[in-house]
Structure 1
Amino acid sequence: MIDPRFYKCSGALSLKKLSEVSGAEIVMPLPLNMTEDSAFENVATLEDATPSDISLFHNLKYRNDFQSSKAGVCFTQHAAVELAPKGIALLVSDSPQRSFGLALAALYPQAEGQMSSMTSPAHPTAQIGEGTILEYGVVVKEKARIGKHCRIGANTVIGAGVDIGNHTWIGQNVTISHAIIGCRVVIYPGVRIGQAGFGFAMDKRGFVTVPQLGRVIIEDDVEIGSNATIDRGSLRDTIIGQGSRLDNLVMIAHNVVLGKGCVLVAQVGIAGSTRLGNYVIAAGQAGIIGHLDIGNGARIGAQSGVMRDIPEGETVLGSPAIPLKDFMRQTATLNRMVKRSPAERKKTRE
């Protein structure tokens, strides 16, 4: 469900209008009790959608979610029509993500929010809890709420609708938007939370930005190092689990979910929609591609390139990342081969 604190819909669009603004074709015949004038304004993921919602299916990994979805309308490609469950109206195109992005832009033309002049650093509708200290240059926008006994560093900006729990410490030059932050959270200087994710459709006709309509949820007792960036979700939320620790310069993309007590060391990057279980550790400069599942207690070595799911408790290393024992065995074998004399290598080839 799109959070109305952060996003305002411009008004419902009929199925016919959705087709016009997106360039997608309506698949006929339509489901019973639906016409081209049937109107929709809500947007949701396949698994969360209801008959009043618009959704998107463009990745076969989510085929089961598509086939069990309750969405009213779904953007997809021509090849997926035969997979669709009954009751869903389909809008098909060669680039469903592009069409979906155009439709969202029509429904939510101001997803980034509006800028307006402020006569005081804290908007009159903002709520600031007892004992909270705001250093010089802090800006608190409309309807934001900051809990009790918080500390907000100089030149930090708290965006409209943001909610911050009690006893949270936020350093200097931090920006936070589209976010719900728990209690006793520590956010070091220069952190960026809640900006739009790197979501766009690549197309020869020109790239189309897909409005990012999710949030960032930071649970209690999290620490986030300097200059880390956490993008908000596209439709679902980006979530940082309770007690997790993020080092400096960590990058979290849209829709990523971290379980409890995860540790991400400096310069770790996690691509969109990957899910980490509880107490996962990723060492410095590890990179994890999108749409993966990393099991509870998994450990990822420094500079590893993770390109597959990791089972619970497994330790991986290398690029592409492989189980630690396999990595050590391959390294030992390579070392033996390199140390052979030219005569030994020639004998092996013969």
Structure 2
Amino acid sequence: MTDLSFFAPFAPVTIGQIAEWAGAEIASGTPETVIRLVAPLEDASEGALVFFDNTAYLEKLTQTRAAACLVAKKHAAKVPEGVAALVCAEPYKGWALVLAKLFPDAMVPQVQALSSVSERAVVHPDALLEDGVRVGPGAVIGAGAEIGRGTRIEANAVIGDKVRIGRDCVIGANVVIQHALVGNQVYLHPGVAVGQDGFGYAMGLGGHLKVPQVGRVIIQDKVEIGANTTVDRGANRDTVIGEGTKIDNQVQIGHNVVIGRHCVIVSQVGLSGSCTLEDFVAIGGQSGVRGHVTIGMGAQIAAVSVVNEDVPAGGRYGGTPAKPVKQWFREIAALRKLAERGKDA
């Protein structure tokens, strides 16, 4: 099979330039050393840049054949002789800054290169598209929709009537948006669904009566939402996703949920209707949050946890049901001891 790269190779750069981008100090090596590629520690060869930020890979660091490595000061002595050590406070962030310079096209999701509105797109005559909007084949844009300058609508996306989308957004292939207001520089990856009915029924012995969902979805600036995530519209108020929040693939966000600014929500999380996440909350993968619960600012929820009660600001919780992590760890240790005693009984 042809060795095909989907991102254009970068022009060679010196480690002096790399250090400047990453805010790093050249602890060993010379600034004139040339970097021609990036690679993982174990696959690096002459001219490669790598990074080290996890002690699980310490042995691979000691054996790497890279030209240079972004590394924290405490691990710089483990960098092999002949490999330039670029010392920075946070190597992974330094790596991100460098890659953004070397591969700018990878910063923005893109399925196809689009330069205009495709003749095979269906754009309602009452829709308003600012200059520079690009629309892929098969996309449908409804009556009264407004789309800002520089936004790209990928193939087969559906933008509902009266939807507002800001500037410099990317709406991925097969995305569906309805009953929503979307800010600037928002990235929705393929298959995202925004603004469909929330799950609302008045249940009874005679059957389940559908409750009309009459709210909206508000997505603020610089939000990124991963593939196949769903965001239900509000029932009687808005579902809101705050500025800068990052949401992984396959997340379910129920009606009336309010997510603050700069939250991080990992894949397969479920947020039940009317729960609230304050600013800077982080939730690990496959966790669930019960409806009407509030998770305070800066709180962290471990993966595969179930949050049934409010979590205070700054709290670190985990388990089923979720509890402070120190208590959770003590309970796990106690159960382990009981299990060990049972073996001897």
> Alignment partner of 2:162: what SS?
coil
Distance in 2 (CA, whole Å) between partners of 1:120 and 1:289 is 40
Distance in 1 (CA, whole Å) between partners of 2:158 and 2:336 is 53
Distance in 1 (CA, whole Å) between partners of 2:185 and 2:294 is 28
Distance in 2 (CA, whole Å) between partners of 1:267 and 1:193 is 16
Question: Deviation of residue 205 (structure 1)?
Answer: 1.4
User: What is the count of residue pairs matched by the alignment?
Assistant: 226
The residue that corresponds to 2:13 in the other structure is none
Question: Deviation of residue 197 (structure 1)?
Answer: 0.2
The residue that corresponds to 1:219 in the other structure is 220
**Residues 122-144 of structure 1, C-alpha deviations (whole Å, 9 max, x = no match):** 11110011111000011000000
The residue that corresponds to 1:228 in the other structure is 229
Is residue 2:325 matched to residue 1:324? yes
> Alignment partner of 2:337: what SS?
helix
> Alignment partner of 2:240: what SS?
strand
**Residues 27-61 of structure 1, C-alpha deviations (whole Å, 9 max, x = no match):** xxxxxxxxxxxxxxxxxxxxxxxxxxxxxxxxxxx
> Alignment partner of 1:239: what SS?
strand
The residue that corresponds to 2:148 in the other structure is 147
The residue that corresponds to 2:270 in the other structure is 269
Is residue 2:123 matched to residue 1:122? yes
The answer (yes or no) to whether the contact 2:289–2:307 under 8 Å persists in 1 is: yes
The residue that corresponds to 2:160 in the other structure is 159
Superposition pairs for residues 92-107 of structure 1, below 5 Å? none
Whichever residue aligns with residue 179 of structure 2, its letter is: H
> Alignment partner of 2:338: what SS?
helix
> Alignment partner of 2:122: what SS?
coil
TM-score between both structures, scaled by the size of structure 2: 0.64
How large is the Cα RMSD of the aligned pairs? 1.2
Whichever residue aligns with residue 214 of structure 1, its letter is: G
**Residues 192-230 of structure 1, C-alpha deviations (whole Å, 9 max, x = no match):** 000000011001111100000000000000000000000
Distance in 1 (CA, whole Å) between partners of 2:202 and 2:342 is 53
The residue that corresponds to 1:76 in the other structure is none
Q: List runs of 5+ in structure 2 lacking aligned partners.
A: 1-119
The residue that corresponds to 2:193 in the other structure is 192
> Alignment partner of 2:181: what SS?
strand
Distance in 2 (CA, whole Å) between partners of 1:216 and 1:197 is 11
Distance in 2 (CA, whole Å) between partners of 1:337 and 1:269 is 32
Task: After the TM superposition, list the runs of 4 or more consecutive aligned residues in structure 1 that deviate by more than 3 angstroms.
Answer: none
Question: Deviation of residue 340 (structure 1)?
Answer: 2.2
Distance in 1 (CA, whole Å) between partners of 2:343 and 2:314 is 42
The residue that corresponds to 2:291 in the other structure is 290
The residue that corresponds to 1:96 in the other structure is none
Distance in 2 (CA, whole Å) between partners of 1:141 and 1:327 is 50
Whichever residue aligns with residue 205 of structure 2, its letter is: K
TM-score between both structures, scaled by the size of structure 1: 0.63
Whichever residue aligns with residue 287 of structure 2, its letter is: A
Identity score, percent: 47
Q: List runs of 5+ in structure 1 lacking aligned partners.
A: 1-118, 346-350
The answer (yes or no) to whether the contact 2:257–2:275 under 8 Å persists in 1 is: yes
The residue that corresponds to 1:132 in the other structure is 133
